[in-house]
Amino acid sequence: MKPLSSRILFHLRQQLPLLILALVPVLIMEILSRGHYLDMMSWTVKHFFELIFNEWIVLSVLLFFTALIGRTRIAYWVTAAVFIIMALISGVKLKILGVPLTPWDLVIAGEASDMVKYVTNILTFQVLSVFVLFGAVSYFLLYRTPLILKKVALKERIAYGVVGLLMMLAVYQDAPLPVQKWLGIQAMVWNQAQNTTTNGYALATVLNTKVMFSDKREGYDDKAIEAIVSHTPEPPIKAGDSPNPIKPNVIVILSESFWDPTQIQGATFSADPIPFFHKLQRTGTSGTMLSPQYGGGTANVEFEVLTGNSMRFLPQGSVAYNQYISNEVDSLASIYARQGYTSTAISPFYNWYFNSNKVYQDFGFSKYIPIEYFKPNYSGPYIADSEVAANIIKTTEQSDGADFVFANTMENHFHYYPGKFPKNTFDVTGDFSPSSKGMLETLAQGMNGADRMLQQLVEYYEKKGEPTIIAFWGDHLPALGDDYATYIDTKYISGKDDPDFLKKMYSVPLVVWNNFDTRKDHLDMSPNYLGPYLIELSKQQGNYYTSFLSQLKKKIPVIPPKDYYAKMNINENDLKDYETLQYDVLFGERHAYKDYTKPIIDPNYRLGYGPITIDKVDADSKDISGRSSITLTVEGSNIPPLGYVSLNGKALTTTWVDEHKVTAVVDGQLLKAGLWDVQILNKDSKETVVGKSNSLSIEIGGR
């Protein structure tokens, strides 16, 4: 009988072909995620150890699936399919948004439909050629060589499963030997493109997953927070109104992908797409904000403005609303609410998107007006900006006192190909491709809608005379083609290595208008500083956080990604206290809230303008004899445009007249004599009831 060591070596030699097999999807993944064969080949030479780790990961998953399935060929196809599809989507997403697919994308519930845009142009000739190469090599190894075992015995399956799990655990924990630490391998979470480029897609994904489930911070406790807060110029707010008798409305508008395309010097527009915005820039307070996003991720910009927190302390590619908001967070909404304001959030998209319904409640808003309560007034595929303006005006009209309103828009949302809008009134000329021309013309049309919305609001509140502040800015630059194609084609940037890439591709324009103060400030800052500025302008009382940020802004007005700190002369230690305060709010014990005497969350928080009520139900006949249908007229209050009448639990075809009246037709099998129980319901796109009225009953006679 052979000694144990010999038997082990024999079995190990039998498994060596799996190393070759696991290498195939690794190389295919790198081609797809990088976009080029040569980039993959260069990476395998320059980052050999990272290559080994990627193969280690794929091999561990292959062993695990083989243990589950018992057949090597099927396990291989499943393993390869999972990794290759993820890498393919990652490569397309990287081209559009400059950020690869991360584990955070996979756990964002409800936004799956938003990912469709990442895969619309996926089957290019190059991608198909990669698939053909993958299929040919895999087929040869699996079916034309005797290297790979087709079926694995039960004992070996158990061994495969154990070994696979141990291998994955070893790379995840970097144990029992800290090989990754020795080799300097780390997750570059502040730059996910570089993270994937350096570490390879599989390893970057594992490292990101480890970061996702790790939120521990050293040196954090109650005393640390107290020490930071005690050194701010003002003490933490406890309760009570500001002594200032004037309470201006504060309206904050995040305009989707709003940017100034006239900055492209090589492009000539037939007319200024944003003339009113330019007028406000010249006559009042204006400037720029360095957005943490490009092409998408609106919620992260909201997060910075509303809470004062910074995405710079969170992994790039993550979405704060979905991942980190699990408790109450003091925000502009709750700060103004403590001083008698009505705080309202308005969004022309679904209430569940980016977990907004729950997040706005945690932020202290009194009410949230999502698309389910909008009139279906569209401009292209999305709700028109003018309809958002109408809802802002309606909100402040219904309120007895001052309002804080946060609204975002959708009219100018990605994509920008010709034909997005029913009519395009702008022509663009220049030395660039027809594709760039078409996207710029579509963009100009969308920008013009945003500009007209801004004008509509300013003129309304100017005429009304009620003290009002309107802050209007773009969340990020629009994604104009893959790999910044239009920006490069028009020579706005020279490429991804443009020396001014960060400033040009992440700076968004901002104006702050008001009708009671003649000051004219020039603002260049990060979005997290806008809240403290608005509080100071409105002369209201902030909190410990806004006081801290006001002081920090004097020293570091713009917070860039970490790899720009040295270039912009930023000492990372100067941001440590800020990072600690943010940790306290998002992951810690919220020590800084301990002196609050009033809850941040409004117990009366609701969706819509108010409770939906039915006061009266009339039928055009109380007798169904000889009738093929009966029309009901339902009257009440706060009836949403998308609401519908329910009869004994069954939906009726409903026509919305106004917020006080709807009509509905009863026919078919529902046309029966008896007691008709009538109710108005409002559902979202997931068929979840987001609003319902009281019930009223009427007696209908006949056959």
Q: What is the mean pLDDT of each run of 10 residues along the chain (703 residues)?
A: 47 64 89 86 89 90 89 88 89 81 68 47 75 87 75 81 88 86 82 85 87 67 82 54 75 98 95 98 96 94 97 90 92 96 96 94 97 96 97 95 97 93 94 96 97 98 96 96 94 94 97 94 97 96 94 96 94 94 91 88 95 95 90 96 94 95 93 93 93 94 76
Question: What 8-state DSSP symbol labels residue 151?
Answer: B
Which helix (H) or strand (E) is 635 found in, with range? Answer: strand 629-637
Note whether 124 and 482 are within 8 A (CB): no
pLDDT of residue 246: 80
Per-residue confidence (pLDDT) for residue 36, from 0 to 100:
83
d(CA 95, CA 187): 21
Question: How is residue 451 written in tokens?
Answer: 């500009």
Max Cα–Cα distance, the chain, nearest Å: 99
| CB contact at 8 A, 314 and 528 | no
Which has the closest alpha carbon to 241: 148, 156, 335, 312?
A: 335
Measure Cα distances from 173 to 105, 107, 170, 181, 368 in Å: 22, 21, 5, 11, 43
**626 vs 641: CA distance, rounded Å:** 32
CA distance 356 to 688: 15
Distance CA 696, CA 633 (A): 12
Cα angle value 327/329/332 (rounded, 5°)? 155
Distances (CA, A) of 409 to 199, 386, 433, 478: 37, 9, 29, 14
- C-alpha to C-alpha distance for 678 and 695, rounded to whole angstroms: 5
**CA-CA distances (angstroms) from residue 8 to 3, 15, 18, 469?**
9, 11, 16, 76
Contacts of 21 (CB under 8 A, 6+ apart): 62, 76, 138, 141, 142, 148
CA distances from 686 to 152, 323, 410, 537, 682 (A): 44, 21, 20, 41, 11
| Rounded alpha-carbon distances, angstroms, from residue 296 to 118, 130, 303, 316, 318 | 11, 28, 14, 12, 12
Which amino acid type is present at position 291?
S
Q: Please give the Cα distance from 331 to 346 (Å, whole number).
A: 16
- Report d(CA 519, CA 633) in Å as an integer: 53
DSSP state, 354?
A: G
Give the pLDDT confidence score for residue 130 in this predicted structure: 87
Name the β-bridge partners of 525.
Answer: 289
pTM score, whole prediction: 0.87
Coil, strand or helix at 649:
coil
> Which of 425, 413, 507, 468 lies closest to 114 in space, CA to CA?
413
Cα 247 to Cα 235, 251, 285, 469, 540: the distances in Å are: 22, 12, 20, 10, 8
Q: What is the pLDDT of residue 412?
A: 96
List, in sequence order, every beta strand (DSSP E) within 229-338: 249-255, 268-269, 285-290
